[in-house]
Amino acid sequence: MDTALNPNHIRFLLDGALWTLVLSLMAFVGGGLGGFAVAMGRIAPSRIIRIVVTGYVQLVQGTPLLVIMFVTYFGLPTLGFSISPMFAAGLSMTIYVSAYLGEIWRGAIESVPRAQWEAAECLAMSRAQRMFKVILPQAIRIATPPTVGFSVQIIKNTSLASVVGFVELTRAGQLVNNSIFEPFTIYLIVAGLYFCLCFPVSLLSRRLERTGSARARNLEALSA
Amino acid sequence: MSIVVLDNVKKSFGAVKVLHGVSFSVAKGQVMALIGASGSGKSTALRCIDRLEQIDSGRIEVCGHQVADPGLDLRKLRLDVGMVFQSYNLFPHLTIEQNIMLGPVSVKRIPRPEAKGIAAEVLAKVGLADKVTAYPEQLSGGQQQRAAIARSLAMQPKVMLFDEVTSALDPKLTGEVLRVIEELARTGMTMIMVTHEMNFARRIADKIVFMHEGKVHEQGGPEILTAPATPELRDFVSNEL
Amino acid sequence: MILDFTPILARWQMLMDGAWLTIQLAVATTLTGFLLGTLCAVARRSQFRLAAAVAGTYVEAIRNTPFLVQIFLVYFGLSSLGLSLSAVTVAIIALTINVGAYTAEIMRAGFDSIHKGQWEAAETLGLSKVQQYWHVALRPAMERVYPSLSSQFILLMLASSVTSQISTEELTAAANFIQSATYRPFETYLVIALIYVALSLAMRVVFWAISMVIFPRRRRLGTNL
Q: What are the pLDDT digits (tens) for B157-198?
A: 999 999 999 988 888 889 999 999 999 999 999 999 999 889
Q: Can you give the pLDDT at residue B230?
A: 93
Q: What are the pLDDT digits (tens) for C19-78?
A: 999 999 999 999 999 999 999 999 999 999 999 999 999 999 999 999 999 999 999 999
Whether pLDDT at A119 is above 70: yes
Q: Chains A and C: how many Cβ contacts under 8 Å? A: 119
Roughly how many angstroms between the first and final C-alpha of chain B, as a whole number?
Answer: 33
C-alpha to C-alpha distance for A111 and B100, rounded to whole angstroms: 41
- Give burial (CB, 10 Å; 0-12/13-18/19+) of C60: middle
Instruction: Answer for the pair B68, B14: CB distance below 8 angstroms, yes or no.
Output: no
C abuts B (3+ Cβ pairs < 8 Å): yes
**Residue A45 included in any domain:** yes
Q: Can you give the pLDDT at residue B127?
A: 93
Q: Which residue in chain C is spatially nearest to A74 when comparing CA positions?
A: C185
Phi, psi of C125 (to 5 degrees): -80, -10
Which one, of C194, C145, C121, lies nearest residue B47 by Cα? C121
Q: Which residue in chain C is spatially nearest to A80 when comparing CA positions?
A: C1
Q: For chain A, how many structural domains are there in total? A: 1
The answer to whether residue B85 neighbours chain C at the CB level (below 8 Å) is yes
- Give burial (CB, 10 Å; 0-12/13-18/19+) of B81: buried
Q: What type of residue sits at position B5?
A: V
Length of chain B: 241
Q: Can you give the pLDDT at residue A79?
A: 82
Interchain proximity C126–B74, CB inside 8 Å: yes
Cα–Cα distances in angstroms (integers) from residue C70 to residues A60, A174, B108, C59, in the given order: 24, 13, 46, 13
Interchain proximity B91–C125, CB inside 8 Å: no
C143 contacts on B by Cβ (under 8 Å)? 93
Q: What type of residue sits at position A198?
A: C
Whether pLDDT at C221 is above 90: no
C196 contacts on A by Cβ (under 8 Å)? 62-64, 67
Cα Rg of chain C (Å, integer): 21
In sequence order, the 6+-apart residues with CB closer than 8 A to the CB of B215 are B19, B20, B21, B22, B41
Average pLDDT over residues B60-89: 94
Which one, of B69, B84, B59, lies nearest residue B157 by Cα? B84
C-alpha to C-alpha distance for C163 and C26, rounded to whole angstroms: 12
Whether pLDDT at A107 is above 90: yes
Dihedral sign, CA of B112, B116, B121, B126?
Answer: positive
Whether pLDDT at A61 is above 70: yes
DSSP assigned state of C132:
I
Dihedral sign, CA of B138, B140, B144, B150?
Answer: negative
CATH class, domain B31-46+74-240, is: alpha beta
Interchain proximity C143–B93, CB inside 8 Å: yes
B145 contacts on C by Cβ (under 8 Å)? none
C-alpha to C-alpha distance for A67 and B188, rounded to whole angstroms: 73
C abuts A (3+ Cβ pairs < 8 Å): yes
Q: What angle do CA B113, B141, B150 make, to 5 degrees?
A: 30
Percentage of the residues of chain B whose pLDDT score is greater than 70 = 100
Instruction: Answer for the pair B153, B82: CB distance below 8 angstroms, yes or no.
Output: yes
Interchain proximity A70–C176, CB inside 8 Å: yes
Q: What are the residues facing B57 on neighbouring strands?
A: B10
Mutation site for A-interface testing, chosen from C22, C65, C168, C176 by largest number of A Cβ within 10 Å = C65
Interchain proximity C175–A63, CB inside 8 Å: no
Q: Chains B and C: how many Cβ contacts under 8 Å? A: 67
The answer to whether residue B102 neighbours chain C at the CB level (below 8 Å) is yes
C-alpha to C-alpha distance for C148 and C154, rounded to whole angstroms: 10
The domains found in chain C, sorted by start residue, are 6-221 (1.10.3720.10)
Mutation site for A-interface testing, chosen from C76, C97, C165 by largest number of A Cβ within 10 Å = C76
CATH number of A188's domain: 1.10.3720.10
Phi-psi region of C143 (alpha: psi -120 to 50; beta: other; left: phi over 0): alpha
Domain hosting residue A38, numbered range = 20-114+143-223
Instruction: Answer for the pair B230, B36: CB distance below 8 angstroms, yes or no.
Output: no
**Residue A10 included in any domain:** no
Q: Can you give the pLDDT at residue A219?
A: 58
Cα–Cα distances in angstroms (integers) from residue B144 to residues A71, A114, B196, C117, in the given order: 59, 36, 20, 14
**Hey, which chains touch B, using 3+ CB pairs under 8 Å?**
C
Q: Please state the pTM of the whole predicted model.
A: 0.90
Describe the crossing of helices A85-110 and A7-42 by its angle, rounded to 10 degrees.
40
CB-CB: which of C125, C136, C140 is closest to B107? C125
C215 contacts on B by Cβ (under 8 Å)? 93
Helix/strand/coil (H/E/C) assignment for every residue in chain A: CCCCCCHHHHHHHHHHHHHHHHHHHHHHHHHHHHHHHHHHHHCCCCHHHHHHHHHHHHHHHCCCHHHHHHHHHHHHHHCCCCCCHHHHHHHHHHHHHHHHHHHHHHHHHHCCCHHHHHHHHHCCCCHHHHHHHHHHHHHHHHHHHHHHHHHHHHHHHHHHHHHHCCCCHHHHHHHHHHHHCCHHHHHHHHHHHHHHHHHHHHHHHHHHHHHHHHHHHHHHHHHC
The answer, yes or no, to whether ipTM is higher than 0.85 is yes
pLDDT-based confidence at residue C83 (cuts at 50, 70, 90): confident
**Residue A135 included in any domain:** no
The answer to whether residue C66 neighbours chain A at the CB level (below 8 Å) is yes
Instruction: Answer for the pair C225, C211: CB distance below 8 angstroms, yes or no.
Output: yes
CB-CB: which of C65, C69, C161 is closest to A64? C161
Interchain proximity C196–A62, CB inside 8 Å: yes
Interchain proximity C126–B135, CB inside 8 Å: no
**Residue A15 included in any domain:** no
Q: What are the pLDDT digits (tens) for A8-35?
A: 899 999 999 999 999 999 999 999 999 9
**Residue A200 included in any domain:** yes
C-alpha to C-alpha distance for C26 and C46, rounded to whole angstroms: 29
The distance between the two most distant Cα atoms of chain A, rounded to a whole number of Å, is 76
Mapping DSSP to helix (H, G, I), strand (E, B) and coil, where does residue B69 land? coil
Average pLDDT over residues A61-70: 96
Q: What are the pLDDT digits (tens) for C155-214?
A: 999 999 999 999 999 999 999 999 999 988 999 999 999 999 999 999 999 999 999 988
Q: What are the residues facing B61 on neighbouring strands?
A: B5, B66
